[in-house]
Amino acid sequence: MKLWQKDATNTSQQIVDFTVGNDRQFDLLLAQHDVKGSLAHAAMLCATGIISEADHGTIEHTLHDILNDIQNGTFSIDEKQEDIHSQIESMLVERIGNSGKSIHTGRSRNDQVAVDIKLFLKAEIKEIKDLAITLFQTLQSLSNRYAHVLMPGYTHMQVAMPSSFGLWFGAYAESLTDDMEMLASAWAVVNKNPLGSGAGYGSSFPLDRKLTTSLLGFATLNYNSIYAQMTRGKSEKITAMAIANIAATLSRLSTDLCLYMNQNFGFITFPSHLTTGSSIMPHKKNPDVFELIRAKCNRIQATPNELTLLTTNLPSGYHRDMQLTKEILFPALSELKSCMAMMNSIIAEIQVNEHILDDEKYVYLFTVEKINELVNAGTPFRDAYRQVGNKVENGTFSYSGKVSHTHEGSIGNLCNEEIKDMMATVAAKIS
């Protein structure tokens, strides 16, 4: 029987199949979190005298056995069960009898799934944080290694001013610090305990919600029971916004890498074993990995919009619509982690062309340097601009290639240590 059935009356199998949908598949990702939530709930029921110490001991022991099954990969959700909550409660009752029936006292599947998802999102955010820090460290290392290797900078896809590999790598490192700010914001939202809000209106049982908050490692709780339910969809969307920002950084970096590998640029290469080839053109070294990272990350950036459309105009309270947040967000989280791991693996093996600016076609990179040189010698800026512009037009412009940039964040003063400190500060918020 279903948890919500009052008798043996069977619901149409067509209705069951449609309403369950893909829930069993995605609920497997919540399995260990559901058990941990139940362990905390059972401990609280015992501490408040709602269940006996004997029943609590039996429930706790059996839940740990189930958790071991999950961690060993021997756990599954039976097709007769609707979701992970039904499966675990059914296993408890099957193994320990009537004691297992008390586990649902003082809670609803509404607050149960809300706490499961928040615990799951906390674990995912921590994993993404670690992957982001690894990529950040690699980019900073490359920035320091190639700090003085010049490359062209572009605006409007036109040759603009001197840049450097140090500045370029460092830009993406600093981009990750802002992405981490968004991730930390998502962490702060999901790090609040909804357990005890029941179906959205609390309970007449003397629940100790602060105890379950402590046992589950949440920073605080969602106090208002209605709002605790309203965090469904909102928690997922804010997390999606955070991962969308990281995806945007990876996508843009991937585009740069594809462009700079192009033979017409020739700024970078990768070892052959990290590229793919053509079925008819033997000279090709294709950046398939970066093209796929870009495509996957562009799809991830659509996740917040999809969640917004799913949850728009819903009134307060729980709605079955929320079931679908799992199949929108969970694959996106997995895909982002895969892309980040791949970028971490391959970017460290980048090979940089250290003589790009030897090519005469990049001479116009230095027009601003020449203008500044004239200004420093006493020529008004607009006059210097016209002098240099005329030389460009009549083909007589030349420059030695010497650059001297000293301000914060320029090619001569990357401020990588300051950026490193920024990352450490924001990353510490996720713990």
Instruction: Write out the H or E segment, with its range, that includes residue 186.
Output: helix 165-190
User: Could you give the angle at which helices 165-190 and 416-427 cross, rounded to 10 degrees?
Assistant: 10
pLDDT band at 82 (very low <50, low <70, confident <90, very high): confident
Kindly state whether residues 194 and 247 are assigned to the same domain: yes
State pTM to two decimals.
0.92
- The predicted model gives 259-285 an average pLDDT of 86
Residue 376 domain-assigned (yes or no): yes
Question: What does the block give as tokens for 62?
Answer: 């059996």
User: What mean pLDDT is predicted for residues 400-418?
Assistant: 92
Residues 233 and 375 in one domain: no
Token pair listed for 178: 């802002």
52 and 19 within one domain? yes
- Assign 3-class secondary structure to 189-217: HHCEECCCCCCCCCCCCCCCHHHHHHHCC
In a domain, 400, yes or no: no
Hey, what are 19's tokens?
Answer: 């309403």
Q: Confidence band (pLDDT; 50, 70, 90) for 350? A: very high
**What pLDDT does residue 80 have?**
87
What pLDDT, on a 0 to 100 scale, did the predictor assign at position 243?
A: 98
Number of H helices, E strands in the chain: 15, 6
Distance CA 416, CA 406 (A): 14
Contact 204, 285 (CB under 8 A): no
HSE-up of residue 403 (Cα within 13 Å, Cβ side): 24
| Residue 4 pLDDT exceeds 50 | no
Q: b/e map of 157-175 (b: 16 or more CB within 10 Å)? A: eeeebbbbbbbbbbbbbbb
Q: What is the mean pLDDT of residues 365-386?
A: 95
Distance separating alpha carbons of residues 363 and 416, to the nearest angstrom: 28
Q: What residues make up the domain containing 380?
A: 360-393
43, 235, 301 from 231: Cα distances, Å? 25, 6, 21
Looking at the fold, whether 330 and 378 belong to one and the same domain comes out as no
Note whether residue 325 is domain-resident: yes
Q: How far apart are CA 381 and CA 359, in angstroms?
A: 28
- Average the pLDDT over 65-69 and give the result: 96
- What average pLDDT is seen over the chain? 93
User: Mean per-residue pLDDT for 393-415?
Assistant: 91
**Residue 6 located in a structural domain:** no
Q: Are residues 247 and 195 in the same domain?
A: yes
Residue 4, in any domain of the structure: no
Res. 20 pLDDT band, cuts 50 70 90: low
Residues 266 and 134 in one domain: yes
Report whether pLDDT(42) > 80: yes
* pLDDT in the model for residue 3: 58
Q: Do both 322 and 173 map to the same domain?
A: yes
* Domain match, 120 and 249 both: yes
The verdict on residue 90 lying in a domain is yes
d(CA 77, CA 331): 19
Confidence of residue 344 (pLDDT cuts 50, 70, 90): very high
Domain boundary among 60, 88, 105: 105
**Cβ atoms within 10 A of the Cβ of 215, count?**
20
* Residue 312 confidence (pLDDT) above 80: yes
User: Is 226 in the same domain as 333?
Assistant: yes
Q: Would residue 88 count as lying in a domain?
A: yes
Number of domains the chain contains: 3
* 79 lies in the same domain as 120: no
Whether 123 and 269 share a structural domain: yes
User: Stretch 107-129: mean pLDDT, rounded?
Assistant: 97
Q: Domain check: are 234 and 377 in the same one?
A: no
Q: Which residue has the tokens 């941990």?
A: 36
